[in-house]
A and B are shown apart, each in its own frame.
Chain A
Amino acid sequence: MIAERYRDAVATVTAVAEVHAAGNDRHAVFPKEALHELRETKLLGLLVPAEYGGPGGELDDLVDITIELGRHDLSVAMIFAMHCQQVRTLACCAGPRLRAQVLPAVAEGELYLASVTTEPSTGAQLLVSGSTTSLVAGQVVVDRMAPIVTGGSHADAFLITVRSPDGSPNQVDLVYATADQLTAEVTGTWDALGMRATESVPMHLAGAVPATQIVSSHQDYRSIVATVFAPVAHLGWAAAWLGTALGAYSRVIGHIRGPAGRRGFDPGSDLLKTRLATCRANLDVTHALLRHTARAIATDSDIARTGVQLLVNTLKTESAVRCFEVVHELVELAGLRHGYLPDSPLRLERSFRDLRSASLNFGNDRLRLVNGSLALMDTRSDLV
């Protein structure tokens, strides 16, 4: 349940998100109205520690709030979750100077952060980068194609993976850069099947930032990825997907129970009941896995160990599959009018398109291959 102190703020954001969701989806434009409310309510600063003027929100707060946003608009939920992933990474791993420079402004809602990890040459791999950098007079020179950047043209700053100055492709750094330190050119459009309001445009980012803005100069990049960057991403994504599947499911139940639904559905049908039960089971299993993983991340003394890494990756692949399965089943249950047409108030059509991205948003196949290798290293197979 969302903590009392955030409840009003979340309600404000979801009310606005709800009004604009259909239009933003249709036109594939960024939910700037919802972002405005995320700024105003200071929810953008959720994960900023108290010493930097934030509320010091925990990962459970991130999960609770993202689920709720996901019920209304998956694009908004993703935008929020990915921003929070960047904030958490800065709060945990940046040097004191960079933290002091960035976090108070995030707490005030002044900075919306986008994520740049995907590259044309290496795809979604986090631990390899083909984007070379050089270090010139204390400045990191960045010049990088970014094929898909959620909210890229609305972001105030970016966390960018690049190859370490003069390093091999396996030596990767995470660099913080504000939009005004870079020339950020949008090089194409975003006209996708779903997640249309994320406006995840291709960009070319070029510029120079002080070497003090290399986040990973203070903590090893691989350990940042294993202990913060990937776990928080998977938690946030799973929460967003779960929220959207849950929203669709509860709208369908509400519809069946209501007067219009009574005319269209037979609540006594065995098929309808077994389909609903299957959906509910997928939601409960995903939710249990999400909470269990969140607890492991918050409490395990070694998040980088094999068992926890396996769990964190499994959360991503399983929630992606199951949440999509839920809307797929709901479309079948609701039929053409409410399952397939975009003007139905049940909005299954949009949820279906949006959730189709889940397995692709960091390819499930890619993660399964990693998990298969990790599994072979773990003969005892102790479960976390």
Chain B
Amino acid sequence: MTLHADLDAVLRKHLKYVDGEALDPDRPLRDLGLDSMRAIDLLFALEDTFHVVIPDELLTDHTFATGRSLQVTVDRLRRQATQPTDG
């Protein structure tokens, strides 16, 4: 699996220690320089780019662990956003 190009691009801006290569989806983002202060900026960037709202209960270390975990979360939220709701 590789990350969506737009996710790779957003992530890259918030990680201090990445090189030119495509991001390894399973590399811990912490190791690449994500800290709590950068995480909040990343959160806003993700929400703006993908037009989703990441709810509080998903603002966990688990969600922000790797590129893959973020991609799964964002994909799911986008699917939910486009699904018709009752009423």
Question: Which residues of A pack against B, CB within 8 Å?
Answer: 127-128, 167-171, 222, 369-370, 373-374, 376-380
The smallest beta-carbon distance between B73 and chain A, in angstroms, is 15
Q: How far is the CA of A376 from the CA of B16 in the complex (A)?
A: 22
**Could you jot down 25 A-B contacts, CB within 8 Å?**
A167-B31, A168-B17, A168-B32, A169-B17, A169-B33, A170-B16, A170-B17, A170-B30, A170-B31, A170-B32, A170-B34, A170-B35, A171-B31, A222-B30, A370-B37, A373-B36, A373-B37, A374-B36, A376-B40, A377-B36, A377-B43, A377-B56, A378-B56, A379-B56, A380-B56
A168 touches B43 (CB 8 A): no
B39 within 8 A of A: yes
Residues of A within 8 A of B17 (CB): 168-170
B81 within 8 A of A: no
B22 within 8 A of A: no
Kindly identify, within residues 35 to 66 of chain B, every residue whose CB is under 8 Å from any CB belonging to chain A: 35-37, 39-40, 43, 56, 59
Residue of A nearest to B36 (CB): A373
A127 touches B43 (CB 8 A): no
Residues of A within 8 A of B30 (CB): 170-171, 222
Residue of B nearest to A167 (CB): B31
Q: How far is the CA of A262 from the CA of B26 in the complex (A)?
A: 72
B56 touches A369 (CB 8 A): no
Q: How many residues of B contact A (CB 8 A)?
A: 15
Q: How far is the CA of A379 from the CA of B55 in the complex (A)?
A: 9
Q: How far is the CA of A239 from the CA of B36 in the complex (A)?
A: 27
Residue of A nearest to B35 (CB): A127
B31 touches A370 (CB 8 A): no
Q: How far is the CA of A131 from the CA of B5 in the complex (A)?
A: 34
Residues of B within 8 A of A171 (CB): 30-31
A170 touches B36 (CB 8 A): no
Residues of B within 8 A of A168 (CB): 17, 31-33
Q: How far is the CA of A369 from the CA of B40 in the complex (A)?
A: 11
B40 touches A377 (CB 8 A): yes
The smallest beta-carbon distance between A225 and chain B, in angstroms, is 11
The smallest beta-carbon distance between A74 and chain B, in angstroms, is 30
Q: How far is the CA of A380 from the CA of B56 in the complex (A)?
A: 8
A-B residue pairs, 9 tightest by C-beta: A373-B40, A373-B37, A377-B59, A168-B17, A379-B56, A376-B40, A168-B31, A373-B36, A170-B31
The smallest beta-carbon distance between A208 and chain B, in angstroms, is 24
B39 touches A373 (CB 8 A): yes
Residues of A within 8 A of B40 (CB): 373, 376-377
Q: How far is the CA of A369 from the CA of B39 in the complex (A)?
A: 13
Residues of A within 8 A of B16 (CB): 169-170
Q: How far is the CA of A189 from the CA of B75 in the complex (A)?
A: 57
Q: 10 more A-B contacts (CB under 8 A) besides A170-B32, A377-B40?
A: A127-B35, A169-B33, A170-B16, A170-B30, A170-B33, A369-B37, A373-B36, A377-B59, A379-B56, A380-B56
Q: How far is the CA of A168 from the CA of B28 in the complex (A)?
A: 11
Residue of A nearest to B34 (CB): A170
Residue of B nearest to A169 (CB): B17
Residues of A within 8 A of B32 (CB): 168, 170
Q: How far is the CA of A128 from the CA of B30 in the complex (A)?
A: 10
Residues of A within 8 A of B31 (CB): 167-168, 170-171
The smallest beta-carbon distance between A368 and chain B, in angstroms, is 11
Residues of A within 8 A of B43 (CB): 376-377
The smallest beta-carbon distance between A133 and chain B, in angstroms, is 15
Residues of B within 8 A of A374 (CB): 36
Residues of B within 8 A of A128 (CB): 35
